[in-house]
Structure 1
Amino acid sequence: MLSRTADHLYWMARYTERAENTARMLDINYQTSLLPQSSEAAEQGWRGLLSISELTRDYHAKHAGLAQREIMGFMVRDESNPSSIHSCLRAARENARAVRGTLTTEVWETANTTWLEFKRLLARGSFERDPSEFFEWVKFRSHLSRGVTYGTMLQDESFHFLRLGTFLERADNTARLLDVKFHGARPIPPGSSGDYFGTLQHTEPLEIDFYYWSAILRSVSAFEIYRKVYRNVIQPEKVAELLILRRDMPRSLLACMEEVVSNLGYVANEHSGETQRRAGRLRADLRFGRIDEILATGLHAFLTQFLDRVGDLGVGISRDFLVPV
């Protein structure tokens, strides 16, 4: 396969996944903003959202304060923000158009229709009228894109580059979400199993903690899964275990790395040995890791290192398969 074709397929998938992840984070922040809480806690939630995407500096270059409406607009419709839903869906569609002959008709039409309908929804004011419904639409279109890809494309190199982009982006986003949200959590009393979490003191009642951790689980479609797996109250260390080490949790770090390693194996060439080795080692660290060991050494340090290693994998994939940056 031509490296330029692989590049377009890889980034088409990454941008589609990024749009969905942005919608998920915005929806959870919007939902939790409706709960009783102090203005400081609400502001911290929106600050964390910008931090996840590394957009704090870009946002403050255009806006003075941390207003909910301005942040949501910046993350949804701002064309100058490369991580906004607008920019991601447009980039996904343009990458799909560049390799239209490689995609099935259904995959191309899904990407094209998503972009056109997104513009129509913005023009009609659907985002302002009901943000949650709008975010659900974005998530649904991403699910549809993956389903159509899986259901209609020949599982050749094109298919594997699409999958590779999807799961590398998902791993990166899940790690960012965990890092920021666990840092924003209420510290758990010393001596408890959750003494590793949080850096901020909150003044909200303890009942709010349930909604906080529930929101984190719902942001990655894991609330029902948590109840099925653990069958008890929501505990921060169990949330971390589910989203890091559970192979059967679709958006966990381990599940994502299983897919990355698998799809790398399908497209391997004579230059990709080192990238495959690094991906395999990262998967092994997750596969044989234990949550108590991760927490004992520091969750933030673990996730920071994971993000660095995922970033190195992205560089290696670009070097081995794609158009040089």
Structure 2
Amino acid sequence: MTMLGRTAQNLFWLSRYVERAENMARLLEVGYRMSLTSRREGGASEHLVSMMQAAEVDEAFASKDRVADVDTVANFMMFDPDNYSSVYSCLLAARTNARSVRTAITSDMWESINSAWLEFSQIKPRDVRGAKLLGLLEWVKDIGHQFRGALLGTILRDDGFAFLQAGNFIERADNTARILDMKYYVLLPRAKMVGGDLDIQQWTLILRAASAHRSYRHVYHDRYKAHNIADFLMLRPEMPRSLIFCAKYIEDNLATLSQFYGQKQSCDEAASQLRSMVDGTDMDTIFSYGLHEFLTEFIARNNRVSDTLSESYNFY
């Protein structure tokens, strides 16, 4: 029996929105910490704006005609209902999708997202500043961990599971690429900084945004180097937030759907093209091509996977 397109869509976007809420917290944390490194020079807003550019919400923020300081940007990224990628919007959308498919998910999954939304909706934005902001960002990341724990520990490995996982890793691939592209935007005006202490400090913050600073040391046994950090977040198949890990997992889950429904779809070819971008290349080739250009193309191909998946399985 095939799953209804609306149910498949809700599962896919439920998983994407939970992952996006966590990823917005990760982006805001790295933007906030980068802003602290340049606050004495008065350049804090530059890092916050570059973070919003990476999340593609800078134009929406600019339309509000506000100064890009820490408190204003944090409120926009965390609580603003007009920002469709804010943590508020993502958790509300995740809960709405979950409620629509209560019979297709487990009670543990529902309780995880429902309780998270109820708790978050009680938080007053004016109370979240400084150290409390960092604490809230950690809490949002924990929500993602709890939801995925409930998902992996309780749901059947059927087509619903494949839609959920496809949504998770399409969103995660998008975010890892955007975090890396954020570094490009931050350093673009200052080529002289490349290789300096501030350059390495910023790359290190990006590793932390991906919860990868400890695992990086296990792989490279070396000080932080831009080349190795980019390689770790893009091409290391054992790193669960890397582009290649996500691309392979997306391809595997779409192949599972094809087997389940008995035929290949256009999204399978799109997923294969995404995986081929990061399978068999190396960082020297990517840097020669242009890091920003490579990431822009990867994001476009990843979006293509999402679009063709929607078409193939009748999302509406």
TM-score by length of 2: 0.93
Deviation, 1:299, is 1.1
Q: Which amino acid aligns with 2:313?
A: F
CA distance in structure 2 between the partners assigned to 1:286 and 1:51 by the alignment: 24
Quickly say closer, same or farther: Cα 1:305–1:218, change in 2 above 3 A: same
1:285 match: secondary structure: helix
Deviation, 1:273, is 2.7
Contact (CA 8 Å) 1:271, 1:320: kept in 2 or not? no
In structure 2, stretches of 5+ residues that fail to align are none
* Residue in 1 that maps onto 2:10: 8
* Residue in 1 that maps onto 2:172: 170
CA distance in structure 1 between the partners assigned to 2:195 and 2:267 by the alignment: 47
CA-atom RMSD in angstroms:
2.1
Contact (CA 8 Å) 2:247, 2:271: kept in 1 or not? yes
* Residue in 2 that maps onto 1:283: 275
* Residue in 2 that maps onto 1:227: 217
Q: Which amino acid aligns with 1:161?
A: F
Deviation, 1:128, is 6.5
* Residue in 2 that maps onto 1:257: 247
Deviations 1:194-252 (A, max 9, x none): xxxx4435789943333211101000011111111111121111111111111001100
Deviation, 1:284, is 2.6
* Residue in 2 that maps onto 1:267: 257
In structure 1, stretches of 5+ residues that fail to align are 186-197
The question of 1:146 aligning with 2:148 is answered yes
* Residue in 2 that maps onto 1:82: 84
Contact (CA 8 Å) 2:16, 2:167: kept in 1 or not? yes
Deviation, 1:267, is 1.1
CA distance in structure 2 between the partners assigned to 1:242 and 1:205 by the alignment: 17
Quickly say closer, same or farther: Cα 1:202–1:250, change in 2 above 3 A: same
Q: Which amino acid aligns with 2:133?
A: P
The question of 1:180 aligning with 2:182 is answered yes
CA distance in structure 1 between the partners assigned to 2:194 and 2:159 by the alignment: 51
1:79 match: secondary structure: coil
Contact (CA 8 Å) 2:77, 2:87: kept in 1 or not? yes
Selected match of 1:303 from 295, 310, 314: 295
CA distance in structure 1 between the partners assigned to 2:202 and 2:114 by the alignment: 36
CA distance in structure 2 between the partners assigned to 1:228 and 1:7 by the alignment: 38
CA distance in structure 1 between the partners assigned to 2:140 and 2:314 by the alignment: 28
CA distance in structure 1 between the partners assigned to 2:283 and 2:70 by the alignment: 34
CA distance in structure 1 between the partners assigned to 2:301 and 2:38 by the alignment: 38
Deviations 1:156-189 (A, max 9, x none): 111111100000000011111111213323xxxx
Deviation, 1:50, is 1.0
Q: Which amino acid aligns with 1:208?
A: L
Selected match of 2:160 from 134, 145, 158: 158
* Residue in 2 that maps onto 1:318: 310
The question of 1:212 aligning with 2:214 is answered no
Q: Which amino acid aligns with 2:201?
A: Y
Deviations 1:130-150 (A, max 9, x none): 001100000001100001100
1:288 match: secondary structure: coil
CA distance in structure 2 between the partners assigned to 1:248 and 1:37 by the alignment: 36
Deviation, 1:52, is 1.0
* Residue in 2 that maps onto 1:132: 134
TM-score by length of 1: 0.90
